[in-house]
């Protein structure tokens, strides 16, 4: 069975979608850990409720130390796939080159990379945006696109309402993408 590590920084709604898919056996995988950089992130409670191990690696003033700690923990968990599900940190090349990592982004990349994608889409006046699942490289949302789903921008949308609709699409797309990727991944055993 393929091993998944989830990286998350906040509420964990994307992580919950993956947890639910594994629990219902829609995903044939095992979540071997959830890692967060935020000691009070609700994703920790989601992990506890699902009887999953969670790990906290708070951001450190010495970024190299933090990168090293994160890399060591991921390596110890020995995942076949790492899923960045709302993890609001740029990963070091030492991590992105060592592990297979996908990320969910709330825009149709290459449009609107970065932390303010929904706000940027609204400011640009686009009629549609959406969500992208992509491979993570050392850049900011620059990795190869795996899957995308469009979401219309409504005239009444503000950042919150649009982001909520994107999140609904994101949850389905990340699970479907993981399901399509898992059979293609050769197991990584250290």
Question: Token pair for residue 39?
Answer: 């000691």
Q: Which one is catalytic: 40, 105, 116, 163?
A: 105
Q: Round to the nearest angstrom and report the end-to-end CA distance of the chain.
A: 16
- Residues pairing with 30 in the sheet: 3
How far is the C-alpha of 46 from the C-alpha of 181, rounded, in Å? 24
How far is the C-alpha of 116 from the C-alpha of 140, rounded, in Å? 12
**C-alpha closest to that of 83 among 176, 173, 17, 178:** 178
The CA–CA distances, whole Å, from 81 to 41, 107, 118 equal 22, 22, 27
Is 106 in a helix, a strand, or coil? coil
How far is the C-alpha of 90 from the C-alpha of 96, rounded, in Å? 10
Residue 116 is a catalytic residue? no
Tokens 């945006």 locate to 129
Which H or E element spans position 70?
Answer: helix 63-77
Q: Which residues are catalytic?
A: 105
């Amino acid at each position: 069975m393929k091993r998944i590590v989830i990286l998350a920084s906040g509420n964990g709604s994307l992580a919950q979608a993956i947890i639910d898919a594994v629990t219902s056996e829609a995903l044939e995988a095992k979540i071997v850990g959830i890692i967060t950089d935020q000691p009070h992130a609700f994703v920790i409670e989601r992990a506890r409720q699902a009887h999953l191990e969670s790990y906290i690696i708070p951001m450190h003033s010495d970024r190299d130390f933090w990168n090293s700690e994160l890399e060591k923990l991921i390596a110890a968990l020995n995942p076949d796939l790492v899923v960045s599900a709302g993890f609001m940190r740029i990963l070091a090349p030492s991590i992105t080159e060592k592990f297979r990592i996908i990320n969910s982004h709330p825009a149709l990349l290459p449009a609107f990379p970065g932390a303010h994608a929904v706000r940027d889409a609204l400011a640009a006046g686009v009629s549609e945006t959406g969500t992208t699942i992509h491979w993570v490289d050392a850049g900011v949302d620059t990795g190869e696109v795996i899957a995308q789903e469009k979401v219309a921008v409504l005239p009444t949308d503000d950042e919150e309402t649009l982001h909520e609709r994107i999140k609904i699409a994101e949850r389905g797309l990340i699970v479907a993408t993981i399901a399509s990727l898992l059979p293609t991944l050769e197991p990584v055993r250290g």
